[in-house]
Each structure stands twice: as C-alpha cells, then as structure tokens.
C-alpha cells in the first residue's frame, strides 16, 4: 500500500480509504469485521464512517459495528485513522441534527461512545450548514480539540466558497481549520473541478472522493450482471443516458487490459489533489480487487483519451467566461 499526507497535515493515510456505509444494511457484522481485518492486512489505515450510517435514526449502527471491532483489541484502534461525520438527523427532537454547537458536542460524544474510543482522528461536517455562523462551529470544534476528543476537522459536500470562508475564519481564530473535503468525484461527475478542487489546492485540503465508480456505472456495467442494486430502474436509466460514453470507456479498459473499476480508481489517484478515493466493499473479494488500482500507472495518452470520453471542467470562471 502507498501512503500520502492528508492535505497540508503531517498525518499519513493510505491511498485508498475504507468506506463502511455497507456495514449493517448490506454486510453482516461478522463479514464487516473480516473486511476491516483484511483492510489492515492490506495496509489500509484510513477508515471512513458517519453517525447516520445504518439508516436507523439515532442508532448509529455502523459506528456500533466499528466499536465492537475495536473492542477486540490487537491494536485495531491504534492502527486506524478514524474518520466520522456529523450533520444528519439523529432524533425527533430539536437540535438532533445539523451543526449547532450543541449538536456538534452531543454528536461527538455519541460517536465516541458507539465506537468505543476516546478520540476521533478526523471529524467531518457531513454537509454545509448555512444557518450557523462559522464562529459558532469553530468554537465547538476548538473545544473538542482542546479536550482531546478530535484531532482534525474536515468537510463533506462543501462548495469552494464554503471552504474559503470556513478556513479564513479559522485562520482568524488561530485554528487549523479544514484539512480535507469529501466530495462526489469520478470520471463521470467532475463538476468539483470548477471550484472545489481549486479551493482544496489553494487551502491545502486533501480531496477524498466518494462514489468513485459513479454508483457502479464505471465498474463495467455493460458486461456485468444487472441484478440487485445494479438492476434498479435508476441504474438502468443512467446506463442508457451514458451508453455512448460507457461503450468507449469499457473498450478503452479492454484495450489497456485492466478492469474498469480499477481504472476508475486509478484515474482519481492520478489527480494531484486526491488523497484517497473511498471504496465501499460489501465483501472481502471486492476489497481485494480494489488494491490493483494503486499499482496502475496511466500514461499521458490514456489520460487524454479518458478526458475525451469524460470531458472535465476548467477552473471557474474560465470554464464559462473568457
């Protein structure tokens, strides 16, 4: 496994991040334990989760699974750079969601308890919250850092403007601010290249792409088995909408002799702003297959062909103005 620094920090993380969203709803606890053990064997030290994962309001099912895995000992917690998120609705009463100072405090305490740990390495805001002033949000984060309950702050689904405002206000408070942004980013979804990517580069944030395979579209769907989630009406409609691009995409992958899913991950790893794409395996076999992406080196010709198939975006305002 290769490692890199998380944004402008001195923290080393693996070039692939283990996403845990399937743990509970799609993957049993026993299999989740096995996947996490296998991730450590492969050298993956970066794990991502969120308090809402498991999708039963207020229960934090996925975090609980991770906590019981940590409790097995064997250095599991010490080996993991643990990232979780707060923002989603965790109850039916006021102040059980979003990013008020009160909810940030309560959400952090609840995540620590569920995951049976006394600190979170990377505490991410799952979405921008426009109603709370940044002074309130950063004050809450500063207290958690001072208490030793979190180490780094990150964002998810932010715009370039949000990253800029957040870090300028953090700087005025002598606080480190955001060190990474988790965004939708893949060959077929490159909108972040206009403003989010430039903001990350300028402020020294690592970019952690979610949905690196575009909901399965980039995983070889034209030759794959369209059953289960891949056979949903939503996926079938997306395939038809993108069929021309997908045919060229899968033909290029055949030409270079690599699996489409591996090339999609490898392409992200070739983007200098990307720290680690999030892979969300449901099985150990899927995790093992994803490791190939770290080894693939795409030459300039292949990268140019990928840009032809999936055109990207210029930095704004050049993308839409002279």
**Domain extent listing, the chain:** 3-216+261-299
**Pairing relationship of beta strands 12-14 and 46-48 according to DSSP bridges:** unpaired
In 3D, which of 72, 65, 87 has the Cα closest to residue 21? Answer: 65
Question: CB–CB of 41/288 below 8 Å?
Answer: no
How far is Cα 6 from Cα 191, in angstroms, rounded to an integer? 22
* Type and span of the H or E element at 84: strand 81-86
Return all residues near 217 (Cβ < 8 A) that are at least 6 apart: 188, 235, 238, 239, 242, 246
Q: Is 66 helix (H, G, I), strand (E, B) or coil?
A: helix
Query: Which residue carries 């989760």 as its tokens?
Result: 49
What's the pTM value of the predicted model, to 2 decimals? 0.95
Are 124 and 83 a contacting pair, CB within 8 Å? Answer: yes
Residue 147 backbone phi and psi in degrees, to 5: -80, -5
Helix (H/G/I), strand (E/B), else coil: 50: coil
Per-residue pLDDT of the chain (322 residues; tens, 9 = 90+): 999 999 999 999 999 999 999 999 999 999 999 999 999 999 999 999 999 999 999 999 999 999 999 999 999 999 999 999 999 999 999 999 999 999 999 999 999 999 999 999 999 999 999 999 999 999 999 999 999 999 999 999 999 999 999 999 999 999 999 999 999 999 999 999 999 999 999 999 999 999 999 999 999 999 875 555 555 788 889 999 999 999 999 999 999 999 999 999 999 999 999 999 999 999 999 999 999 999 999 999 999 999 999 999 999 999 999 9
User: Which of 287, 311, 298 has its CA nearest to residue 23?
Assistant: 287
SS3 263: helix
Cβ–Cβ < 8 Å for 4, 270: no
Of residues 267, 185, 252, the one with CA closest to residue 222: 252
Q: For residue 14, what are its two tokens? A: 């693996």
Task: Enter the tokens of residue 7.
Answer: 């944004």
* Catalytic residue ranges: 53
From residue 262, how far is each of 13, 216, 256, 258 by CA, in Å? 20, 12, 12, 7
CATH level 3 topology of 3-216+261-299: TIM Barrel (3.20.20)
Distance CA 256, CA 116 (A): 45
Taking alpha carbons only, the member of 231, 206, 201 closest to residue 216 is 231
Helix (H, G, I), strand (E, B) or coil at 183: strand
List the one residue out of 160, 102, 164, 163 whose CA is nearest residue 132: 102
Nearest in space to 198 (alpha carbons), one of 315, 88, 87, 86: 315
């Amino acid at each position: 496994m290769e490692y890199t620094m998380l944004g402008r920090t001195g923290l080393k993380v693996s070039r692939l991040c283990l996403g845990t969203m399937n743990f509970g709803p799609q993957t049993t606890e026993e299999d989740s334990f096995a996947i996490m053990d296998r991730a450590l064997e492969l050298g993956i030290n970066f794990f991502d989760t969120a308090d809402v994962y498991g999708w039963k309001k207020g229960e934090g099912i996925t975090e609980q699974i991770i906590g019981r895995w940590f409790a097995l000992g064997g250095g599991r917690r010490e080996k993991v750079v643990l990232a979780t998120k707060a923002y989603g609705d965790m109850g039916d009463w006021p102040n059980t969601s979003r990013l008020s100072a009160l909810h940030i405090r309560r959400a952090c305490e609840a995540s620590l308890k569920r995951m049976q740990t006394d600190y979170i390495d990377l505490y991410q805001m799952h979405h921008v919250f426009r109603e709370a002033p940044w002074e309130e949000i950063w004050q809450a984060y500063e207290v958690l850092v001072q208490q030793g309950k979190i180490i780094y702050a990150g964002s998810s689904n932010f715009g370039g403007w949000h990253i800029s405002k957040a870090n300028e206000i953090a700087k005025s408070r002598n606080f480190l601010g955001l060190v990474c942004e988790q965004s939708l980013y893949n060959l077929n979804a490159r909108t972040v290249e206009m403003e989010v990517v430039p903001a990350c580069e300028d402020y020294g944030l690592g970019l952690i792409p979610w949905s690196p395979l575009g909901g399965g579209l980039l995983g070889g769907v034209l030759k794959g088995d369209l059953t289960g989630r891949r056979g949903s009406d939503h996926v079938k409609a997306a395939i038809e909408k993108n069929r021309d691009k997908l045919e060229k995409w899968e033909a290029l992958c055949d030409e270079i002799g690599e699996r489409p899913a591996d090339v999609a991950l490898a392409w992200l790893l070739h983007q200098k702003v990307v720290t680690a794409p999030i892979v969300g395996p449901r099985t150990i076999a899927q995790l093992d297959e994803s490791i190939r992406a770290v080894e693939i080196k795409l030459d300039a010709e292949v990268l140019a062909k990928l840009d032809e198939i999936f055109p990207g975006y210029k930095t704004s305002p050049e993308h839409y103005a002279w």
